[in-house]
């Protein structure tokens, strides 16, 4: 994985057992608390960087690069959003006028041939219609 001085992480309290969720998208569930994301294309602040038990410190990468578990096949350069299983999936923004919005959280820097492979993404913040 590439390293950079621009990589930033925030610490939140784990609102559930996240011991098997390293490199999954998280969502904010309460003040200073994160849980696994269960909303397809929903807003996610970033990717969990450590396996943690409930009420422990969860490190969420919010900028730079991160590993991420893929929810399907992914090609290099795909825009990445979260599916309802907190895994990264490719999305394609559409022409203006669409009302179906995606919170794109990254750009794939590596590829996955199948679900549950780990890819690397460049974290970003894009709201796009599709």
Contacts of 126 (CB under 8 A, 6+ apart): 79, 93, 103, 104
Domains of the chain, each with CATH number or no CATH:
8-65 (2.40.340), 66-129 (no CATH)
Length of the chain: 130
Single pTM value for the model:
0.89
Grouping H, G, I as helix, E, B as strand and the rest as coil, residue 52 is strand
Q: In angstroms, rounded to a whole number, what is the distance separating the alpha carbons of residues 85 and 99? A: 23
Task: Supply the pLDDT for residue 97.
Answer: 54
Torsion angle, CA of 121/66/54/21, rounded to 10 degrees?
50
Residue pLDDT tens, the chain, 130 long: 455 557 799 999 999 999 999 999 999 999 999 999 999 988 899 999 999 999 999 999 999 999 999 999 999 999 999 999 999 999 887 655 555 667 889 999 999 999 999 999 999 987 766 5
Q: In angstroms, rounded to a whole number, what is the distance separating the alpha carbons of residues 58 and 102? A: 25
Which of 94, 93, 71 lies closest to 82, judged by CA? Answer: 71
Sign of the torsion angle spanned by Cα atoms 64, 11, 47, 127: negative
Sign of the torsion angle spanned by Cα atoms 30, 33, 37, 43: positive
- Token pair, residue 101, equals 């919005």
Beta bridge partners of 9: 61
């Amino acid at each position: 994985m590439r390293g950079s001085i621009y990589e930033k992480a925030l610490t939140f309290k784990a609102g559930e057992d996240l011991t098997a969720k390293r490199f999954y998208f998280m969502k904010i569930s309460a003040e200073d608390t994160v849980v696994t994301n269960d909303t397809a294309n929903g807003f996610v602040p970033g990717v969990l960087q450590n396996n943690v038990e409930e009420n422990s410190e969860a490190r969420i990468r919010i900028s730079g690069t991160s590993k991420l578990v893929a929810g399907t096949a992914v090609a290099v350069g795909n825009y990445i959003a979260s599916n309802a299983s907190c895994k990264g999936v490719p999305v394609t923004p559409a022409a203006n006028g669409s009302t179906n919005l995606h919170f794109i959280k990254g750009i794939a820097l590596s590829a996955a041939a199948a679900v549950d492979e780990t890819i690397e993404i460049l974290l970003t913040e894009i709201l796009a219609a599709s």
